[in-house]
Structure 1
Amino acid sequence: MAGIKYGAYGELRESVVEEITQAETAAVYIGTAPVNLVRGWTDAAAVNSPVNVKSMADAYGKVGYSDNWNAFTLCEPLNVHFGQTGKNIGPIYLINVLNPAKHKKEQATTKSVIFVDGKAEFVSETIVLDTLAIEGKKENVDYTLDYSFSRHAVLLTSVGSTPIDGTVEVTFDEVDPAKVTAEDIIGDETDKGVYTGAACIKLVFPKFAVVPSMIAAPGWSDQPEVHKALLQYSYQINGHWYAMLYPDIPLTAATIQEAIKWKTDNHYDSEYEKPYWPQVKDSYGKIYHLSTLAVAEQMRVDQSHDGVPAETNGNKEINAVAQYFGENSLNQGFDQEKANTLTESGVSTAIPWGGRWVLWGDHTGAYVEDKQIDARGIFDVNIRMLMFLLNNFQQRWAPKIDVNMDRAMKDTIINVEQERLDAYAASGYLLGSPQIVFLAAENSTAQLMNGQFVYTAQVTPTPPMKGLTCGVAYTSAGFDAYFK
């Protein structure tokens, strides 16, 4: 009988890297994933629903993985967050819009495979595993079906009383990622409670009880209509939460000046976002969107401050060896001096600096040098710290809604919040003496009669050290040493 072993055997299995730093910052990515490689994907809520992914091994069973990041855009963040030993960080929340029942080739595929010693395999990343069939054979009776993510191969093993041998024909459906459109990414929310695309950001908190604080859609956010929708979804999610958007400027902008103009013309200029340009390449030739690297690095920086977004991801090292402007681009790259032209216009980037490659830029998309804007929109740490304080206040006091608001409760809120603000100031996250107050001018009798209570906090987030200058002057006084 095929499949029966006699003796002692050993098998090399898929590598599993589990050195994952558990972050408190919740990052949400929207795009396409090879859920067609996941058995039972229809039961796993893997399409148009947020999925919590904690490691690469976790991803294999929930959304799949492929090295074809152009087709399966969510695999890039999986690689960045969980594919680099020693730098892995998660969890992350993925919203996949690729539907194997919808985005597939019109005709089923037929393929000849050869069974040798009861086993056969063939390479495919587009196969819908659940649809594979062998005529006259039944899965788990005549054969078993598995998938190797390291070899990108479908694995067939004969297990029946009559071994499968030689050439057989298999049929299966294949997904077609090219059929996914910007409309699929943007998505919608219906009156019947059906969510699709980026609208599924609203499901993250109800489903996982975590507040989305960063949003990205590498491979899609460089489309203005997608960007506009993502920006709208990032503001007051579920009527409460604030998140920072990390979009990319497309490589159709081939130069620094073109990137700045494109950013302005297409309104990537909100204080709630941090746009990036161009892309980067690593030593293996893999190409990364800077938005993905930026989100991962920001999560690591936040976690170094116990989850408080008190420091920018600017000047943080990334896995890169060159800037990337497109396959046929003549642009050979730029240094820090020219990169500062980008940052002065609210575009962050990546540069070689001090023998390493780093993210470069600490401004929001609203910033343009010499342009008057609200001070909170100057630096990413400013707006993210304010978002953090608002999100945390709401989370902390939501369980107290509908309790009696007597004088003691009013004072308790002030005391608890002031203590937290003082702790953030002591840690260097806020400057000066932050304060929270309950003012009569903001709480009229009519408001109080209707159960509406307003507190006001005044805080100064600690700014980054954007520039550091030391003046050196020549002096002749040193010659006195000859005579001492």
Structure 2
Amino acid sequence: MAYKHGVYTSEQATSLVPMTQTDSGLIVAFGTAPLHLASESAGANKPVLCYTYKEAVKAFGYSDDWEKYSLCEVMKAQFALFNMAPVVLVNVLDPSKHKQDVKEKQIPLENGVAKIADPVLLSTLKVVATSGGTALTADTDYTAAHDDDGNTVITAIEGGKIATSAAQIYASYTMLDPAAVEKRDIIGGVDTDTGKSEGLELIEEIYPRFGIVPGIIIAPGWSDDVNVAAVMKAKTHNIDGHFGAICLCDIPTKEAKTYTDAVAWRTKNGGTEVNGRIYWPMLKLGTEKYHMSTQEASVMNYTDSQHDDIPYYSPSNKALQADAACLEDGTEVFLSAAQAAYLNGQGITTALNFIGGWRTWGNRTLAYPSNTDVKDNFISNRRMFIWVGNTLITTFWSKIDDPTNKRLIETVVDSANIWLNGLVAKGALLGGSVEFREEDNTTTGLMDGILHFHVRMTPPAPAREIDFIQEYDTNYIATLFS
């Protein structure tokens, strides 16, 4: 050590750690997309973080045919209806597998223009003037592009090899086949040949890829399948070995056409997942039909954004972008308040047009009514426990492998308690504390570097019932004589 003579200063790390802000409601949506319309296709089984509608369309394309391309429903709801961002989109429609090859299809030519309605992958398009003829040259003999309706428009170039009098041309191409996508593609897994994750297995890659904790898992058009829903529920736990999330699933309105059918379906197939929500029926806005899971995911985003991205407000009784509730075939559904309450009592969230227009209606998770633990069966409480847990993980990860001493313990306890006190002051918690208790920490555990901190917290329950007790008071008769 160098010889010193004088006055010196040094610095040490602040004993309080600022808490990281985890995203309470990052939506991760799984489904299919019209990649043939994408200008820079993201391909299949690659999560893409999108902050704008333009980014989403650039990577996945857009089509109004949501039955074939379910991710477009999410794009429309998130960016157009609720103006919320970001969202992670995962397309499972694989052009290398879910495709059909078309050979020399005769296409009518009118004034030098031909249209193909199939979802053509332009890179595979080959055009000939006559059957069995020599392939024509793109941008010399013709141009090919998609129009706003998703058609492939082939236009003859003057001076090219397509005769001005030609009545038809012949096109060979590969087209996407969204009908070939199956629930196993959504469920995914790990490809044994490449070792790459596919489908819902990709939820594990969200935090390593983007540094944002996934909050809400949806798969509109697919989550009404019991097998897909089962995997979605499983994936809400222990994400990337540490984090939690929730999943939003739908009841199939093809099978459940009445609210009593919905209860019967939920009883048979819904399960009791504490991190799950289930919905019936669908929503309609103009001619467009939305799954309730899609809209409520965006409702959660919007509600959180109005309260500092802290999920202590229930998404129930919040405005939907809808002018009707409906079945998949478009049949409109109108529930009375009593019928909606009956659904809620069975753990089903629905849509109610009672006061204030169409609104979400229901506070319960799938744990209700079999699980009476308040931290598990109210969605706002469930999300708060997940969010607080995720925040503690991301904040104190930097302290892993530090020496197990009083300074470490005091730093964690003091930092976490200051943060929880702030949540109490905001009204997000009724109370909260962190303790390092001797009864939770054994000598052998501490010798092995294992520390247990006890977290107590009380999120406010949603005011699901407000009663006014009215009484006729005879004392006020005396006011007649005053």
CA deviations 1:335-354 (Å, max 9, x no partner) are 21110000011100001021
Letter in 2 for 1:337: A
Letter in 1 for 2:396: W
Task: Please say if 1:382 is aligned against 2:381.
Answer: yes
How far apart in 2 are the matches of 1:35 and 1:299? 27
C-alpha displacement of 1:431? 0.5
User: 1:428 matched to which residue of 2?
Assistant: 427
Cα separation, partners in 2 of 1:289 and 1:108, compared to 1, 3 Å: farther
How far apart in 2 are the matches of 1:109 and 1:230? 43
CA deviations 1:44-103 (Å, max 9, x no partner) are 3x201211122221122101111111111111111101223xx31111111111112211
User: Within 5 Å, which residues of 2 pair with 1:22-61?
Assistant: 25-39=25-39, 41=41, 44=42, 46-61=43-58
Contact 1:189/1:199 (CA < 8 Å) preserved in 2?
A: yes
CA deviations 1:167-189 (Å, max 9, x no partner) are 54333221121111111111112
User: 1:81 matched to which residue of 2?
Assistant: 78
Task: Please say if 1:222 is aligned against 2:224.
Answer: yes
C-alpha displacement of 1:436? 0.3
User: 1:107 matched to which residue of 2?
Assistant: 102
Cα separation, partners in 2 of 1:190 and 1:170, compared to 1, 3 Å: closer
C-alpha displacement of 1:478? 4.3
How far apart in 1 are the matches of 2:203 and 2:144? 34
User: 1:236 matched to which residue of 2?
Assistant: 238
How far apart in 2 are the matches of 1:145 and 1:307? 46
Contact 1:121/1:153 (CA < 8 Å) preserved in 2?
A: no
How far apart in 1 are the matches of 2:175 and 2:72? 18
User: 1:461 matched to which residue of 2?
Assistant: 459
Letter in 1 for 2:445: Q
How far apart in 1 are the matches of 2:106 and 2:390? 53
C-alpha displacement of 1:31? 1.1
User: 2:470 matched to which residue of 1?
Assistant: 472
SS at match of 2:464: coil
Task: Please say if 1:336 is aligned against 2:329.
Answer: no
CA deviations 1:202-250 (Å, max 9, x no partner) are 1111111111110011111111111111111121111111010100011
Structure 2 residue ranges without an equivalent (≥5):
1-22, 129-134
User: 1:418 matched to which residue of 2?
Assistant: 417
Task: Please say if 1:483 is aligned against 2:476.
Answer: no
User: Within 5 Å, which residues of 2 pair with 1:112-151?
Assistant: 112=107, 114=109, 120=113, 122=115, 124=117, 126-135=119-128, 136-140=135-139, 143-148=142-147, 150-151=148-149
Name the count of aligned residue pairs.
Answer: 449
User: 1:266 matched to which residue of 2?
Assistant: 269
Letter in 2 for 1:409: L
Cα separation, partners in 2 of 1:56 and 1:142, compared to 1, 3 Å: farther
C-alpha displacement of 1:109? 6.3
SS at match of 1:105: strand
Structure 1 residue ranges without an equivalent (≥5):
1-22
CA deviations 1:338-390 (Å, max 9, x no partner) are 1000001110000102141001001111111xx55222112001111000011
User: 1:281 matched to which residue of 2?
Assistant: 284
How far apart in 2 are the matches of 1:468 and 1:315? 14
User: 1:445 matched to which residue of 2?
Assistant: 443
TM-score (norm 1): 0.87
SS at match of 1:264: helix
C-alpha displacement of 1:472? 2.4
User: 1:210 matched to which residue of 2?
Assistant: 212
User: 1:18 matched to which residue of 2?
Assistant: none
Cα separation, partners in 2 of 1:82 and 1:111, compared to 1, 3 Å: farther
How far apart in 1 are the matches of 2:334 and 2:280? 12
Cα separation, partners in 2 of 1:134 and 1:303, compared to 1, 3 Å: same
Contact 2:24/2:387 (CA < 8 Å) preserved in 1?
A: no
User: 2:293 matched to which residue of 1?
Assistant: 291
Contact 1:77/1:292 (CA < 8 Å) preserved in 2?
A: yes
User: 1:3 matched to which residue of 2?
Assistant: none
SS at match of 1:107: strand
How far apart in 2 are the matches of 1:120 and 1:441? 80
TM-score (norm 2): 0.87
Identity of aligned residues (%): 29
How far apart in 1 are the matches of 2:404 and 2:138? 63
How far apart in 1 are the matches of 2:118 and 2:50? 20
RMSD: 2.3
Contact 2:237/2:245 (CA < 8 Å) preserved in 1?
A: yes
Letter in 2 for 1:131: T
How far apart in 1 are the matches of 2:114 and 2:468? 64
User: 2:313 matched to which residue of 1?
Assistant: 311
